[in-house]
Amino acid sequence: MTTLKRGRYIARLAETPDDLTAAQRLRHLCFHGGEGLDADRFDEICAHILVEEVATGRPVCCFRFLPLSHGAEIDRSYSAQYYELSRLRSFAGPMVELGRFCIHPQVKDPDILRVAWGAMTGYVDEHGVELLFGCSSFKGTEADQYLDAFTVLRDRHIAPKRWLPRVKAPRVFRFAQLLRRKPDAKLAMLRMPPLLRTYLLMGGWVSDHAVVDDQMNTLHVFTGLEIRAIPPARKKLLRAVAG
């Protein structure tokens, strides 16, 4: 991916140990709060993207990519720790796992997400990626505040059966089985994490259960986006940002 500069922000690949430390520091602030480094064994095998303020160089967003040649490598992914993904082993094309996506909690600017997706689009096009996947996280481990969002996921966005992840984690919220209610669509969108909301607008799908992740203090759903399924108009918009 080449460097992408749009307005007040620039997205670029992390190239030095200091770049990776900056990403890990931002991740810790977003996921755990306060000073520290959020790091794991996957950092060494991933490409890391930083979105920074042009004027100050301050990181305001980061995420990482784990490229896989095809579905037979799916068990190498971070997500495979929490989801039984054997159905995806038959996926024939190149795949990328998007992980540890976060935006600085004190910066509220929708342009950050646009620049991040522009960077993702550039990477996907450059590497011929056919499936983008990962864990989309809801903050906290209590599902009650997100019931409308989970009901919308159940009604509209469950993965096709041929790719549907099975349960693997010891603690899960089986929203597709348990919820029997009519959702407040407006409230559902307000409760939906921005990254997941964007996935869904592009035709993404999710697992039928959420994993309760006490270590990260999140509820997360497996999320997949087949690139060929993105509506042409939205592809055009993304490529306009990426270009």
- Side-chain-side CA neighbours of residue 114 (13 Å): 14
- The 10s digit of each residue's pLDDT in 88-141 is 999 999 999 999 999 999 999 999 999 999 999 999 999 999 999 999 999 999
pLDDT value for 170:
96
The predicted pLDDT at position 47 comes to 96
pLDDT at 49 over 80: yes
Q: pLDDT tens across 184-225, in order?
A: 889 999 999 999 999 999 999 999 999 999 999 999 999 999
What was the pLDDT predicted at 217? Answer: 92
Domains of the chain: total: 1
Output 15-21 pairs: Cβ under 8 A, ≥24 positions apart. 19/48, 19/50, 20/48
Q: Which of 92, 99, 42 is CA-nearest to residue 71?
A: 92
Q: For residue 22, what is the domain's CATH number?
A: 3.40.630.30
Q: Write down the pLDDT at residue 243.
A: 72
Provide the residue range defining the domain that includes 160: 4-242
Which of 122-126, 139-143, 172-176, 231-235 is least confident? 231-235
pLDDT for 2: 64
Cα 128 to Cα 17: distance, rounded to the nearest angstrom: 28
Amino acid code (one letter) for 175: F
Residue with tokens 């986006």: 225
> What is the pLDDT, as a whole number, of residue 125?
92
Q: In whole angstroms, what is the distance from residue 210 CA to residue 220 CA?
A: 5
Asked if pLDDT for residue 241 goes beyond 90, the answer is no
Predicted local confidence at residue 179, as pLDDT = 76
